[in-house]
Structure 1
């Protein structure tokens, strides 16, 4: 009877240790929130910041599209440079009308940038409802926009584009980088962990202690096995 009780207790303890070794889950336990109604204020501010970045990126795409229509020389020069670097394949593009190529490239750039802005807006709404991977993607995008804004300060303005378009594009670019970082900061504020499904410090510490304990147990087991092997070898002698 005592042997059976001892066996059950041992298995329960082993199962508990095994559960402790499972990394804390990232994400809301009940899935994505249906809306942002009950979200913390900082999360709502972060969503508004990132949505405004998506809007500014859409405006940037439209301004860039209009600027390329007004003065297509920059696009034509870029197309010519890329065509010359294609080698033997370039003959198929040289005969094409440069203005037609510039218009096609300009339109494709507009569609792509508007699509990217729409995807960012969709990811923002998902991040506000607790989607962890959407939030990670937006954090990376925010750092990219911030770096782009910093590099823009030290870069030269296009020589052919009208000054008004240069100013508008520069302002939208810098504002996007700044506001994106602000949105990232709002999401990382204390008090958002439960809503966003971020593991608590206690859960992380418990997991770290379990991993450390398992390493010590494995080290002790290897040491005991080595000592037993050495003792067995001595007994044979």
Structure 2
């Protein structure tokens, strides 16, 4: 699990003098929790929160179940509340990353509803969206590359068996590489976007951001080379 660490663009500003040192400490703690911290520069930094496997109940450190595909956070919330998500499912929420959202929404609502419906230890959740420190359960976020950028999360289909092994630091889909490549060819032709158009109002600024942004593993910053 790669976790982005937003840090100061410059240390030569009052209040930011020690942030580079703090970034190294954060990366070390992420490593202890089973992740990999990757720093990127930001113009301004307020808070940085990283969550590894320390908050996951040991009973679900190894988890396997069928994928329940949600093409948005809104769909996930609706399906969880209305009982369509069942015990043992691995909820896959995609097209919620920096490009696909656009803007990388926090996925607190789906995890909260899983917990309130008694599924906190009975389901897992995987998403290219983001999490804060308020998330609980087996929740794996910041998947990169995101679905909208051609990431493997966009190739998972309803019912695929997903195997999560925290001690071994692995997430696998129980299908062959050949099947994945076939799905990739199909998706390349159809386009990397949700199957159905989402009723989501997007501002012109976010549309412009989506055209140039990178995935979370690259810091969700703009790649100006795309203008060439």
TM range (shorter): under 0.3
Higher helix share: 1
TM-score, normalising length: structure 2: 0.19
TM-score, normalising length: structure 1: 0.18
Structure of higher RCO (CA pairs closer than 8 Å, 6+ residues apart) = 1
Whichever of the two has the greater Rg, that structure is 1
